[in-house]
Structure formats: structure tokens, C-alpha cells
Amino acid sequence: MKPLQELECLKSGIKGVCFDIDDTFTSNGKITSKAFESLWKLKTAGFFLIPVTGRPAGWCDHIARFWPVDGVVGENGAFSFFMHKGKRKRIDTLPIELAHEAKSKLVRLRKEIEISFPGCSFASDQEYREYDLAIDFCEDVTPWTETEVDRLVRFCESKGAIAKVSSIHVNTWFGTYTKIDGIRHFLAAAPRELQLPAFEELVFIGDSPNDEPMFEAFPISIGVANVRPFLSKIKNPPKFITLLEAGSGFAELSEFLRS
């Protein structure tokens, strides 16, 4: 991973930023004024901004409406929400018939998890999710051991689901889409008037193993400094890294891109 300064010669080709939210844009569970201001500064400077998150549909409705962003990809790539002509619109990544099937399989998986992991807690935002289950191992519960988290991931995979570990949740869903598919589908299917940039003109910044598909796929990917403890779990690390952690690292990228 190279320091951000080595990105200087490629900077002029960057039109926008895709970014993870938890522990990339937030710091210790909060959006700092510095991070949010740095987002506004990027928007004012003309950058396209697309958060990409495992967070639920309920949150994404708010983000699309109120944050200075061009759209948001939620629930690990299941859909994108965006504003168009003053109305909140959505693009689902799965075709409708597959979406129905995925949702009914999810109901079954939830019951199986509850039986095999008695006492486990679903994320406090579970009821605002449409396509995935989020099992809390660190946010509002006593942190699980790495072995317990691994066992849950293997359990979900044994049921045919995808399972990804963020810094706080195990997210699991049916369907082969990833956050990358969500981003690509949004860029391809969004109304032309939005004049969204090409995938190759966007950079990605993230912090954890569930960001690995983006670290690999984006020509320019960046880790905030707090990605370091997760590197043993990431085969394709980000190509660049910030000096600062979490929201301060995001603000560091914002300042770098605008300078």
C-alpha cells in the first residue's frame, strides 16, 4: 500500500469517490463534523459521491435524501437509492423474481441461525433491511471471538448464502451480487441526466474485509489507516492508504483530492 501522495499523478482523472460508511466515514460510531464537512467540500468541488454500505434500506432512504451524495448503494450491493427530479428513486440489483426467492430463503436462514447460535443478536437496524441479515458481533453486544465469527460465516455459507464480515456485523444474503455489482448496476441503469462518471473514473475508500471486492476492482482503491489490523484477512489490499484513521482518513482524502 502506497501513501496517498503517490496518487498525485493520477489525481486529475478522478471524478468521484465511492466510500464505505462504518469506520471509514464514521469514527467510533459517529460522523464527525470534520468528516461531514469534508464530504460537502468534495461535493462543492464537483466530485461525484456514492456511499457503498452494508447498512439497510431505511438508512439509505435518509442518506439519498439528505446527504450531499449522488446516490447510495445499500445492503451490500442489493440496491441503489438516488434522487431524480426531486423524487427518491431506486434500482434493484437482482431481477424481481430472484429478489422474491432471495427474501423467502432469508426468512428460513434467520430461523436456522437462531437455533444454531442461541442468544445471538441481530443488528438494531435489522427491521429496516430488505435483502440481508446482519448479525451483531461487536456493535451493541459483548464482542464475539474471531472463532465464533468464523463459525457463523461458515454456517451461513453452508446454507448457500453469501456471508461477509464488516467491523461490526456479519452480513449474510442470497444472490451472487456484491457491492461492486451494485455500483456497476447503478452507474449503468441510472438516468442519463445524472451524468454519472464511468466506474474507472471513481476511486474507492474503505476499511475492512467486506470492502475487499472494491479494493480489488477499483483501479484506485484506498484504505483508511485503521484497515491495517484486518490485512491478514484481505487477499487484495487497497492500493493506497491514508495516514489517519476512519473519518479523519476520509477527510485526508477529501483534502488531497481538492488540493
Start-to-end C-alpha separation, the chain? 21
In whole angstroms, how close is the CB of 211 to Mg ion at the nearest point? 6
Strands (E), 116-207: 121-122, 133-136, 162-165, 169-173, 202-206
Is residue 212 near Mg ion by the rule CB under 5 A?
Answer: no
Task: For Mg ion, give the closer residue by CB, 13 or 29.
Answer: 29
Select from 128-136, 157-165, 205-213, 243-251 the region that touches Mg ion (CB under 5 A): 205-213
Is residue 252 near Mg ion by the rule CB under 5 A?
Answer: no
Task: For Mg ion, give the closer residue by CB, 130 or 211.
Answer: 211
Select from 79-87, 110-118, 172-180, 208-216 the region that touches Mg ion (CB under 5 A): 208-216
Residue window 151-190: x/- pattern of binding to Mg ion, with contact defined by CB under 5 A = ----------------------------------------
Looking only at residues 109 through 148 of this chain, which bind Mg ion when binding is defined by CB under 5 A? none
Q: Which residues pair with 2 in a beta bridge?
A: 240
Is residue 20 near Mg ion by the rule CB under 5 A?
Answer: yes
Q: Exposed, middle or buried, 146 (CB in 10 Å: 0-12/13-18/19+)?
A: exposed
Is residue 226 near Mg ion by the rule CB under 5 A?
Answer: no
Task: For Mg ion, give the closer residue by CB, 20 or 132.
Answer: 20
Question: Could you write out the DSSP letters of every residue in 36-92?
Answer: HHHHHHHHHTT-EEEEB-S--HHHHHHHHHHSS-S-EEEGGGTEEEEEETTEEEEEE
Task: For Mg ion, give the closer residue by CB, 1 or 94.
Answer: 1
In whole angstroms, how close is the CB of 124 to Mg ion at the nearest point? 17
Q: Which of 22, 75, 212, 252 binds Mg ion (CB under 5 A)?
A: 22
* 8-state DSSP, 26: -
Q: CA 71 to CA 254: how far, in whole Å?
A: 18
Task: For Mg ion, give the closer residue by CB, 173 or 190.
Answer: 173
Looking only at residues 58 through 97 of this chain, which bind Mg ion when binding is defined by CB under 5 A? none
Contact 248, 34 (CB under 8 A): yes
- Which residue number is nearest to Mg ion in terms of Cβ? 22
Residue holding cell 495516514?
Answer: 243
Query: What SS3 state is found at 161?
Result: coil
In whole angstroms, how close is the CB of 208 to Mg ion at the nearest point? 5
Is residue 245 near Mg ion by the rule CB under 5 A?
Answer: no
Max CA pair span of the chain: 54
Binding-site ranges for Mg ion (CB under 5 A): 20, 22-23, 207-208
